[in-house]
Amino acid sequence: MAEFATVIDAATLAANLAAPGWLVIDCRFDLKDPAAGRAAWLDAHIPGAMYADLDSDLAGPVTSHSGRHPLPAVDALIATFSGLGIDGRTQVVAYDDASGAIAARAWWLLRWLGHTRAAVLDGGFAAWRSDERPVEAGAVTVAPRRFRGSVRADAVISTPEVLCALRPESDFQLVDARDPARFRGETEPLDAVAGHIPGAVNLPFAASLDAKGRWRRREELAQLWAEVRQNSRSGNWAVMCGSGVTACHLALSAVAAGIAEPRLYVGSWSEWIRDPARPVATGPG
């Protein structure tokens, strides 16, 4: 069976929707209305799709030192994936209605625990509905499976490691997925401090998508990353955003482009600014 490990189109998913070993996860979520995603899933979803909540399933409890979406405890995440019906042979397809921004977090968490048979639906729920494909309403239940996860310690980078890595003599590169106005510090709708980490470069996550919100071709993504990383071709790099969610979209973009997978700065900007002694920059970077 073919393995889909980055992005999958709606036609391919439709052709395999009833295939044994395939599982769909609905990741729709609204940061301003956390209950809206589950309500949307109950109203209409891809047939058989389970629901994963960003706050309660794809993130752990916020602490006074963490960012807004810390990683779940490993045991809790394993239990979540098991309860969703995922085991080592399952082909997972995650979707949302946010250009893959939330679905990519589910994709990344699966990879973090060693499960590479996971993909994000290109175009999300809108792409599924565009050709009048079937949907269903109401809750979905599946038989739990035994998910066996093994943490990839090299997949993440901590705040102390970022501080150390950003020394002038380092070849480390940090890429920030937030929109340019937030990166430059001109506006900040979510966090208490505006700006960016000194030395970071900006690549809004939507740059990996075309005007219709679909993923760019592999060659286009490779060119995009070549331009961003032209002064840093080493594998010593990481991605970040506001809270470690849309940064996963950049990680997916890099993998889809065929370049070295970055580490994820999970805490991202919302954790960085917890300590006012950490430096903050504004402007284009």
Residues recognised as catalytic: 241
- Do residues 285 and 240 touch, judged by C-beta distance below 8 A? no
Q: 93 forms bridges with which residues in the sheet?
A: 24, 119
Edge-first strand listing for the sheet containing 7-8: 7-8, 118-121, 91-95, 22-26, 50-51
Torsion over CA of 38, 44, 50 and 52, rounded to 10 degrees? -30
How big is the chain by its Cα radius of gyration, in Å? 18
- Do residues 81 and 75 touch, judged by C-beta distance below 8 A? no
Closest CA to 174 of 105, 272, 100: 272
